Amino acid sequence: MKRPFIAVLTIAFALAAIVAAQTRRGSRTNKPATQNRPARGTPAKYSAFLHSSDKHKSLACNDCHKIPTVWNAKRDFPDVADFPGHDACVRCHRPQFFSRPAMSGTGPVICTVCHLRAAPREAARFAFGKPNAGDQSAKPKDERQFTIEFPHDKHQNVIARLQSPRLDPGLLRVSFTPAPDEKRADYNNCTICHRRNDELLSAQPLPAQDDQFRKFFKTVPRSHDACFACHWKNQKPINNDCGGCHKTASTFVPVLMPKRISAKFSHEGGKGEHVMECTTCHINITRAASVRGLTPDVPIAACTTCHKDNKKTTYPKVVTIEEEFAQYKTTNACAYCHAPDVGSKKPPASHEAAAQ
């Protein structure tokens, strides 16, 4: 009688262990991988610069970063456009540059923090933030050590005001399709920061697999130009207060695009002109106090403003959510907005509610 009892216990524990392992695996968030940083005291230590080291933390940003750098050679606006000069490093790290051990092998490894190679006459440097030239190499790994602190709601308070499209009072154009050069209505000045993404195509080459993001997403400010337009001087945080926006992050924070649910949606035309104001669909965007965790989610209910009733005399006729439901029943796919990875799944309850 003892044996079956032990067997029962063993199996029960095994099952419990499997369940626990499965759930733990499921709940594990996709934490960004921490940087593989060399151990302290090793020669390789000086190949990676850490803003978070005690010594570096004790310095002011502009002890090393001179603002502006030789900006007119690098950017068309005053900027922190390059790595600090040699003096910023050498004044503390002389042994790491000039000692015999440092000079042995391929050269002082500390040089590779900024330079492509550790060689005396090596002038080529990695791109510092935005590349200064098209052929400038980016660092082999993203060594981002900061997150950006950006109160989105405060910026909307001051920026998001009505700017009606300026119309020529003498002419009233009557047409179903907009002229190619016709300026789109700029309802709330979101376009001060978020533009059509094709404007930055050449400046921001993306891998081919990221083409879909390029196609659908609006841009976000990626240079100091957008910030300095207001925060160059007087309006805090100003140009020499790097920490006003750049907050040190202990872990590597990769730049992630929000997951696209409606991969076939296009802000700019596509199957139809989405001409509504940004906040008509991005209903929570004026609420967000930070960009951290800010996802531009659009609830299906927002789509019902137009995609609920196609009896209106609009042209071209809109596809309704109800029609898509009918389509799903015959083909098992919602293909108007979604790619197969999402469109082949059962529509959620929110979609049914929106269609009613």
Partner 1 sequence: MSVNSTRTAFFSAIFIGGLLTLSFAGHTQTPPAPRGVIRLKVRYKSADGTKELVRKRFFLIKGSLDENKALADAIKQTTLISRECYYRSKGASERLIKWLDDNDCESVYCRAIEERELIGPDAVPEFKSAYDLALRQLKTPEVARRWLPNYLPADLRDGYYNLKQRTIEGLLKQAGALSAKPLMSIMTDRKGTAYLTDIEPGTYTISNLVPSESDKSEILWLCEREVKAGDLSIAMRRPFILSNENDPKVKCEVIVRRLPVCN
Site residues for partner 1 per CB under 8 A = 1, 3-5, 7-8, 11-12, 15-16, 19-20, 23, 27, 72, 76-78, 153, 156-163, 187-189, 192, 225, 228-235, 277, 279-280, 283-284, 286-287, 299, 301, 304, 350, 353-354, 356
Phi, psi of 336, deg, nearest 5:
-70, -45
Residue 235 or 248 having the CB closest to partner 1? 235
With respect to partner 1, which residue has the nearer C-beta, 33 or 349? 349
- 265, 268, 262, 296: which is closest to 280 by C-alpha? 296
How many Å separate Cα 225 from the centre of its chain?
A: 17
Comparison of 110 and 321: residue with beta carbon closer to partner 1: 321
Closest CB 223 distance from partner 1, rounded Å: 12
- By beta-carbon proximity to partner 1, the closer residue of 53 and 350 is 350
d(CA 27, CA 35): 23
Shorter beta-carbon distance to partner 1: residue 122 or 322: 322
Distance CA 320, CA 3 (A): 65
Could you tell me the smallest distance in angstroms from the CB atom of residue 274 to partner 1? 15
**Shortest distance, CB of residue 249 to partner 1, whole angstroms?**
25
Q: Are 300 and 283 in contact (CB under 8 A)?
A: no
Least distance to partner 1 from the beta carbon of 272, Å? Answer: 20
Least distance to partner 1, CB of residue 123, Å: 26
Contact criterion met (CB below 8 Å) for 144 and 132: no
Of 254, 252, 260, 253, the C-alpha closest to 210 is 260
Judged by CB, which is closer to partner 1: 112, or 156? 156
* Tokens representing residue 103 in the block: 């000079």
In angstroms, what is the minimal distance from the CB of 28 to partner 1? Answer: 13
φ/ψ region of 84 (left if φ > 0, alpha if ψ in -120 to 50, else beta) reads beta
In the chain, how many H helices and how many E strands?
A: 14, 2
